[in-house]
Chains A and B, each alone.
Chain A
Amino acid sequence: MAEAQDYTLKVRRFDPESGEQAYWRDYGVELDPERSVLDGILQVRDREDASLAIRCSCRAAICGSCGVRINGKSALACNTRISDAQETALNGAITVEPMGNMPVIKDLIVDMDAVHWKKIQRVVPWLLPEREPPEGSEYKVPAEAMIDVTQSMACIQCGVCVSACLSLEVDTEFIGPAALAKAYRFVGDPRDDHTEERLRDLAEDPHGIYDCTHCFACIEVCPKDVAPMSQIMRLRRRATGDFGIKDDNNGYGHEKAFVDIIEKWGTLHEAQLLPRSFGQGSMIRGQLEPGAVKQLLTDMPTALRGLRSGKVTPKKALLHPKLPGQKNVRRIYEEVEGKDERLELNLYITGHGGDEPEPDEDEGAMAEGSEEA
């Protein structure tokens, strides 16, 4: 055991009964560096002020109670080492405040029901088999399918991704990373017989799967490697690739345009993105699409700003250069599309060979996401 060291926790306190605003208070704690921020908070409660409120129970990142923001970053307090938190502390003090995107009830406790659980309810979070279950036996399903959904079953409903989600910040109605990961748990489950309806529902909802901006925040903060954004991308792939669901939000067309443009140029040809999105990938069809004109008008100020600032020039906009080494980009496409099965880099089935060196967790998650970008 290392020697105990002194740390300062700067905790955001809020007492709803006081009539006062929330305020910051500093607490000194003495802990072994490998202990957690939660241990620090519990020490404050034990020694100094037992009125400091935080939900917590298992201390082992299993129960999902102690989601907070530490130095601004959403995390479970119990699996954030206090010495690690010290490294990102501003002015020497580790700040601890309640999770974002949810109303605060008291101190570090937020109203999960008002946001998180409401969104979970939204995705019809129970199995919907049509058939009677087999008599005296289990459903026979591929082993890989069960391991695949185990990644989203690993979700402990802590709300840390909900707290970190940038889309939720601007669209509070967004179904959000946790609930959509939960949705994948049913979409990916071969025992569920409502796969297409579920996907259509989530694709058509303007706050559904196409509301994710692909920012990776949820993947970065998830304490259980559920990689919610990857589950959202899987939902999109299932919706478009397996069921050809062409939604009102034009998410299908937008995604197809992205993929086609990158295949052709290697980088994003922004002037082509909009028309191709409406043409479901095709430039020509896109120009005939009435929705495209409407969208173009909405987007015009952005385009003009780009022109004014010099980010975009008419030349750049119309003549987009191919990436040097575009051949290699195309090779990736050929490699991926040439496989019989779709490449799914689920952390539970990454196919780690016996002695092969493997990428560490974070790299794995990045690889998973980058496949989409």
Chain B
Amino acid sequence: MPQHDVLVIGAGLAGQRAALAAAKTGASVGIISKVHPVRSHSNAAQGGINAALDPEDSWESHAFDTVKGSDYLGDQDAIEIMCKEAPDELLELEHLGVTFHRNEEGGLGKRAFGGASAARTYYVADITGQAILHVLYEQLMKHDEVHRYEEWFTTALVQDDEGKIAGAVTRNIRDGSMELFAAKSVILATGGNGQVFNPTTNALVCTGDGIALAYRIGAPLMDMEMIQYHPTTLAGLGLLITEGARGEGAHLYNAEGERFMEKYAPNKMELASRDVVSRAEQTEIDEGRGFPDGTVALDITVVPKKRIHEALREILNVGRDFAGVDITKEPIHIKPGNHYVMGGVKTDTDGRTSIPGLYAAGECACVSVHGGNRLGANSLLDTLIFGRRSGEHAGKAAKGAPMPTPSQAALDSENARIRAVFDRERSSRRVSEIKAELGKTMDEKCSVYREEEGLREALEVITRLKEEAKTASVDDRGTIFNQDLLGAIELQFMIDNAETILVSAIERKESRGAQYRTDFPERNDDEWLKHITVQPNGDGETPEIEYSEVTLTQWEPEERTY
């Protein structure tokens, strides 16, 4: 049985950062990922990473922007930690080899980003996430004392009799063998759940696995209703056009040629918070001022060509390859699209969840630094800061602690579960059909604008899909690279995610951040300045709602304008 002091599940930025930090404390570390680490979706973070590094900037200013961006739902103690530690983290990445863009003096160069009162976004062209991910992977190759399990899929977390984490059950995708891991602590770093929606900017791997794994053993999820719709995604495919484009000066126009952000955010214009810009676009589209394909136009031609080549190269490729548009010559049609989940497994500022020994970091976690709306270029920061903090804490906690012995019964029960998948009737509904209905339903009823009736309809659909998923048929009964089987398991993870998103969205009877309820269009601090948490009730089937206080330190809620 493989044994590690710290077992990290997921090898994107949060996972790799956690693994490296845990190893630095002297702990034995394993890192499991269902895809090769450099395939992780952290790759897709294009624009950059925020840090108040400039002496003229301050962490307080960064923190305030983040608090305001969160629509005051973010926990201010966690936000303070993130913003204070950002400059050192950025420098550490630079020292490890990230090829950050330089200014003329050879120091780190920065760009403007949405919702920020100062330019504090550091970047590598528009491949920032990819560059950092690959550099961290260089470090993992260097530090081969961190044991990498690449292309292994975690099917369940294992607890001991007292409820403490004891390990995990995994499937080696390459040969289909099932393996029980023993670990003193487990750090979930499995990323977001965008695949619950269709379309989405998220990769096919973003199926909310870690969120569901934690939920199933009783860890509360928090802020799950807060789903970010990014203002600039391609219609149809949902691919992302970086906020960096607007950071570099690109404008938004409706079909009437009007730069409509003047009406919604006269000061920050295109660089208001994402929720604000997405709502503005959706309003234009809904009120008939969009293009016939349900979009508005992003005009990047105003950015100098040389700058586009140097700083927006990826977008040049995406425009050419996926929309047939040369962004240096013509505007590109975009719309708001599913992008990010602010919510996730509730943790403290060291990444600890309510289950002893279980940590979470990155998009699958909710610290909560993003509250109702995440600022662009704060997600990379979140993964790195809280990935590192989780790794450090778990590594130190492992010292002197005994290695648990996870029960063989856990492995047996997962084996039985997989056999049962293979035994399903071939005539039942296909995994792909259920997934398609799930994504469409969520995008229709739980996107930029929501109201109770639609959310309840969606919940009804999801409740039916949950049953159907239990019998969904699979074509592949093999052991080697059985992606079909994994898809069937992921589908059930996704449905758990969808259900908790919907019950939280129904519960929050106000409009705040990404949650805009047309039936409750105002923010209501008296009743709803609090987090909604969800955990399974006694029968383990239906979600149960509780509340958690928002931590305020120095910023009282104010009206939010841009």
Contact = CB atoms under 8 A, between A and B. Distances in A.
Given A50-B475, A191-B97, A354-B304, A143 B106 contact: yes
A330 B240 CA distance: 48
Contacts of B130: 62, 153-154, 156
Given A58-B203, A150-B125, A46 B141 contact: no
Given A45-B432, A126-B139, A349-B310, A64 B484 contact: no
Given A50-B432, A51-B475, A58-B44, A150 B99 contact: yes
A105 B483 CA distance: 13
Q: Which one of A59, A137, A138, A157 has the highest number of Cβ atoms from chain B below 10 Å of its Cβ? A: A138
A354 B176 CA distance: 55
Given A57-B39, A58-B41, A126-B142, A138 B483 contact: no
Contact of A106 (B138, B304, B480): B480
Contacts of A125: 138, 141
Interface stretch (B251-259, B314-322, B335-343, B458-466): B314-322
A356 to B, nearest CB: 8
Contacts of A352: 305-306, 309
Interface residues of A, number: 70
- Sorted nearest first, the 7 A-B pairs with minimum C-beta distance are A51-B476, A127-B97, A46-B432, A143-B102, A133-B95, A140-B106, A50-B484
Contacts of B14: none
Could you say which interface size class chain B belongs to? 35 or more
B293 interface: yes
Contact of B105 (A15, A60, A140, A155): A140
B375 interface: no
Contacts of A58: 39, 41, 43-44, 203-204
Contacts of B109: 143
Given A105-B480, A133-B91, A348-B125, 8 more contacts: A45-B432, A46-B430, A50-B474, A59-B237, A64-B38, A126-B97, A129-B95, A138-B95
B35 interface: yes
B239 interface: yes
Contacts of B475: 49-51
B290 to A, nearest CB: 15
A306 B150 CA distance: 51
B300 to A, nearest CB: 15
Contacts of B95: 129, 133, 138-139
A47 interface: yes
A140 B103 CA distance: 10
A60 B40 CA distance: 13
A50 B483 CA distance: 8
A63 B430 contact: no
15 contacts: A16-B480, A17-B478, A60-B239, A61-B321, A62-B314, A63-B44, A109-B481, A136-B91, A146-B100, A150-B127, A153-B99, A154-B127, A155-B134, A157-B134, A224-B317
Interface string A93-132: 0000000000001110100110000001100011101000
A139 B108 CA distance: 9
B43 A63 contact: yes
B324 interface: yes
Contact of B138 (A47, A109, A126, A139): A126
B205 interface: yes
A129 to B, nearest CB: 8
A97 to B, nearest CB: 16
A152 to B, nearest CB: 9
Interface in A182-241: 185, 189, 191, 224-225
Interface of A: 1, 15-17, 34, 45-47, 49-51, 53, 55-65, 79, 81, 105-107, 109, 112-113, 120-121, 125-127, 129, 133, 136-143, 146-147, 149-150, 153-157, 185, 189, 191, 224-225, 347-355, 358
A270 to B, nearest CB: 40
Contacts of A112: 36
A105 B174 contact: yes
Interface in B477-508: 478-484, 487
A57 B204 contact: yes
Given A62-B43, A138-B94, A348-B313, A56 B106 contact: no
Contact of B43 (A53, A156, A185, A349): A156
Nearest to A48: B475
Contacts of A141: 102, 106
A79 B321 CA distance: 6
B374 to A, nearest CB: 20
A147 B36 CA distance: 27
A133 B134 CA distance: 20
B526 to A, nearest CB: 43
A187 B124 CA distance: 18
Contacts of B240: 60
A140 B100 CA distance: 11
B478 A127 contact: no
Nearest to B204: A57
Contacts of A142: 102, 106
A195 B234 CA distance: 42
Contacts of A137: 91, 107
Contacts of B474: 50
Contacts of A56: 204
Contacts of A120: 141
Interface string B19-59: 00000000000000001101111011000000000000000
B456 interface: no
Given A50-B431, A189-B99, A349-B310, A59 B239 contact: yes
B236 interface: yes
B131 interface: yes
Between A45, A121, A350, the greatest number of chain B beta carbons within 10 A of the residue's beta carbon is seen for A45
Interface in B409-449: 430-433, 436
A154 B311 CA distance: 12
A137 B41 CA distance: 29
Contacts of A224: 317
Contact of B35 (A57, A81, A191): A57
B552 interface: no
B164 interface: no
Nearest to B206: A57
Interface string B65-97: 000000000000000000000000001001111
A61 B96 contact: no
Interface string B128-144: 00110011001101100
A86 to B, nearest CB: 16
B161 interface: no
Nearest to A109: B481
Interface in B338-362: none
B216 interface: no
A60 B233 CA distance: 12
Nearest to B142: A126
Given A63-B43, A143-B106, A189 B97 contact: yes
B101 interface: yes
B104 interface: yes
B253 to A, nearest CB: 21
Nearest to A120: B141
Contact of A348 (B310, B321, B433, B479): B310
A51 B150 CA distance: 21
Contact of A146 (B102, B293, B318, B431): B102
A15 B479 CA distance: 10
A27 B484 CA distance: 18
